[in-house]
Each structure stands twice: as structure tokens, then as C-alpha cells.
């Protein structure tokens, strides 16, 4: 009986000891480490004529350059991979098992790629196929080449319009018979550098409005830059007038039959001579000329005219007396 009790006690001691040993055993590390290196992307300092966004864009009809500033958060100098697509509508779907495969979702769309050192770099898409009648976008995937499959959406994207612009006119004082320079400001909000065909017409009492150079071609205007045109206008009568300013792009060959076709340009769009463009109608109030507006030369002219009229009146009066 005593032997049986001793055996049972020894069994429980060994069982407890075994449990304590097992609790101290550390599991060996796995052979595969699931570690994704974070990449930081910020806006590179914009260059002249470059469209601002997380991705900096600069382009024309022959080339689109995509630029970025990207690095590893650990400041490692190993290579970064980048692939960028033009106008890919759906670059990825996280709910799809293969949804992070941007090459699958953007297959067939124009693209460019980069594999190299971190920092300020770029890639180019030659002969870009812009969509001139809708919003455009560039989307890029940044990844560590060693773990490319772990880098998925959302991807950095910059949205842009190939061509677009705004028209404004600075306030001016207009007097009858006085020629004024009409300051027309055109600001580009489109990616492509553009020369604009500009037309100025009077749509009320046009027979009393003289415009020097009603149609002309503007200097080239770049994204976010403004050019100012100074056509000369003379109003021959007092009253209220309306002057219409139309501008169309020379960078696109998009045709239209109605302003509905030009809705992609936003507010103040029009179809003019079969081309989509922007328009601005301004109200001009023309008043009588006051003496201060004549200046010294004008004032002298008034005195001379008044003197001649006085002499003529005296001469006629004397002639009648002799008769």
C-alpha cells in the first residue's frame, strides 16, 4: 500500500515538472517573415508648367511625364518599383483575391514603369492618348520589388483635364469716343500648353462699337499661368453694351454641333465654329466724356474749337450788318 502511494506521488511530481518545462519551451521562429516595407510618397517641388498633385505631371500631345518623390520610411537605399497608368478607370479591387494586381485591372492602358533608387524620379508615356471630352487621371503603384505582391490599393492618383481655361476681364472706365484697351485675362487649368483662338464681338448696338483685331491667336499659355490680351475698343455712343469674348483651344481637334457636346469644359462652355470653347459676356456702360478725361491736349482742342466757332459767329454777324 505504501509502495502504491509512493508511485502515485512520484507520477504526479513528474507530471507537474513536465508541465513546467513545456511552458518554458519557446517556439522556433518561422522561416518566412511577413514584413512589408512602408514607402512614403510626397509631392515633389513643382517645376515650371507642371501640374500639381501627389504625382507631378507635365505633358503635351507627344509625351506625358509623371514625376514623384518616394522613399522608404527607414531611409533604405534599395530599389523602389513604380508602374503608372493613364486613364485606368479601376486600378484595383481589395475584395478580389487578385485585386492588388494592377497589371490585371489596367491591362491595355498606356503605362510607364521605373525600377531604381528612391527619391525624385519620373517615367514617360510617349504619344499619350488623352480623353479630351472627360476627366483624365494618372495612377501609380509604388512597391518594394522584394514584396511586390503585398502592395495594393489605394494607389496615388492625380486627376487632370488635358485642356481647359478661364476667361475674366478687369474693370475699366469707358467714355464715348475714347479708345480703351480691354484687358482680357486667360488662365490655363489644363495640362497641355495651348494657344487659343480668341474672338471679340459686340452683340448689342454693334454698329456703334469699333474693335481693332476681332480675331487673333494668343501666346502659349501653360498650366496655372495667365496671359493678358489688350484688344482696343471704341464706343461711338453712350448707353449699355454687351461684348462677347470667345476662346477655343488649338491643342485639340474635338468637334461639336452644340454646346451640350462641350459640357466637359464646365461653366461658360460653347460650341463656336464647330469647336468647343469658353465664352464670357460682359456688360459695358458707356458714359459721356467729362473735361478731366480729355487731358491737356483735349482741353486745348476744346478751346481752339470754341474760338473758331466764336470767330465764325462774329464774322457772320458783321456780314449781315453790312447788307
Q: What's the CATH code of the domain at 220?
A: 2.60.40.10
Residues 92 and 133 grouped into a single domain = yes
Same-domain check for residues 192 and 238: yes
Do 255 and 156 belong together in one domain? no
Model confidence at 9: pLDDT above 50: no
> Within a domain: residue 13?
no
**270 shares a domain with 183:** yes
How confident is the model at residue 311, as a pLDDT?
64
Of the listed ranges 56-60, 125-129, 139-143, 205-209, the one predicted with least confidence: 205-209
Per-residue pLDDT tens digits for 108-134: 999 999 999 999 999 999 999 999 999
Tell me whether residue 183 is in a domain.
yes
- Pair (117, 182) in one structural domain: no
In a domain, 316, yes or no: no
Instruction: Report which of 111, 113, 161 is spatially closest to residue 136, judged by C-alpha positions.
Output: 161
pLDDT greater at residue 81 or residue 31: 81
Count up the domains in the chain and report the number.
Answer: 2
Q: Identify whether 190 is part of a domain.
A: yes
Is residue 60 situated within a structural domain? yes
Asked whether residue 61 falls in the same domain as residue 95, the answer is yes
176 and 150 inside one domain: no
Contact 114, 56 (CB under 8 A): no
Q: Could you tell me which residue, 88 or 204, shows the higher pLDDT?
A: 88
Q: Band of the pLDDT at 153, cuts 50, 70, 90?
A: confident
261 and 239 within one domain:
yes
In this structure, the answer to whether residues 229 and 278 fall within a common structural domain is yes
Residue 308 belongs to a domain: no
Whether residue 132 sits in one domain with residue 181:
no
What's the CATH code of the domain at 120? 2.60.40
Mean pLDDT of the chain, nearest integer: 80
pLDDT at 160 over 70: yes
Q: Are residues 66 and 133 in the same domain?
A: yes
Residue 113 structural domain: 39-160
Question: Are 178 and 205 members of one domain?
Answer: yes
pLDDT tens, position by position, 269-281: 999 889 999 999 9
Amino acid at each position: 500500500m505504501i509502495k502504491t502511494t509512493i508511485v502515485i506521488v512520484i507520477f504526479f511530481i513528474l507530471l507537474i515538472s513536465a508541465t513546467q518545462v513545456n511552458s518554458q519551451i519557446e517556439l522556433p521562429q518561422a522561416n518566412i517573415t511577413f514584413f512589408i516595407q512602408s514607402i512614403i510618397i510626397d509631392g515633389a517641388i513643382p517645376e515650371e508648367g507642371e501640374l500639381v498633385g501627389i504625382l507631378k505631371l507635365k505633358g503635351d500631345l507627344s509625351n506625358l511625364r509623371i514625376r514623384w518623390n518616394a522613399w522608404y520610411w527607414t531611409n533604405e537605399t534599395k530599389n523602389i518599383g513604380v508602374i503608372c497608368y493613364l486613364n485606368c478607370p479601376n486600378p484595383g479591387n481589395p475584395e478580389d483575391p487578385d485585386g492588388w494586381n494592377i497589371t490585371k485591372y489596367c491591362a491595355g492602358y498606356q503605362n510607364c514603369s521605373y525600377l531604381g533608387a528612391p527619391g525624385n524620379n519620373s517615367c514617360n508615356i510617349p504619344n499619350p492618348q488623352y480623353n479630351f471630352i472627360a476627366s483624365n487621371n494618372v495612377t501609380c503603384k509604388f512597391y518594394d520589388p522584394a514584396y511586390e505582391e503585398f502592395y495594393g490599393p489605394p494607389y496615388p492618383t492625380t486627376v487632370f483635364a488635358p485642356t481647359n481655361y478661364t476667361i475674366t476681364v478687369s474693370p475699366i472706365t469707358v467714355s464715348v469716343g475714347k479708345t480703351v484697351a480691354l484687358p482680357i485675362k486667360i488662365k490655363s487649368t489644363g495640362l497641355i500648353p495651348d494657344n487659343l483662338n480668341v474672338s471679340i464681338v459686340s452683340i448689342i448696338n454693334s454698329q456703334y462699337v469699333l474693335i481693332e483685331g476681332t480675331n487673333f491667336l494668343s501666346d502659349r499659355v501653360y498650366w496655372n499661368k495667365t496671359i493678358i490680351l489688350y484688344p482696343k475698343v471704341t464706343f461711338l455712343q453712350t448707353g449699355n453694351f454687351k461684348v462677347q469674348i470667345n476662346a477655343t483651344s488649338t491643342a485639340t481637334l474635338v468637334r461639336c454641333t452644340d454646346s451640350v457636346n462641350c459640357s466637359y469644359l464646365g461653366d461658360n462652355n460653347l460650341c463656336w465654329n464647330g469647336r468647343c470653347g469658353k465664352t464670357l459676356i460682359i456688360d459695358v456702360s458707356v458714359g459721356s466724356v467729362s473735361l478731366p478725361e480729355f487731358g491737356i491736349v483735349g482741353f486745348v482742342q476744346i478751346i481752339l474749337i470754341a474760338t473758331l466757332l466764336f470767330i465764325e459767329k462774329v464774322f457772320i454777324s458783321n456780314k449781315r450788318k453790312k447788307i
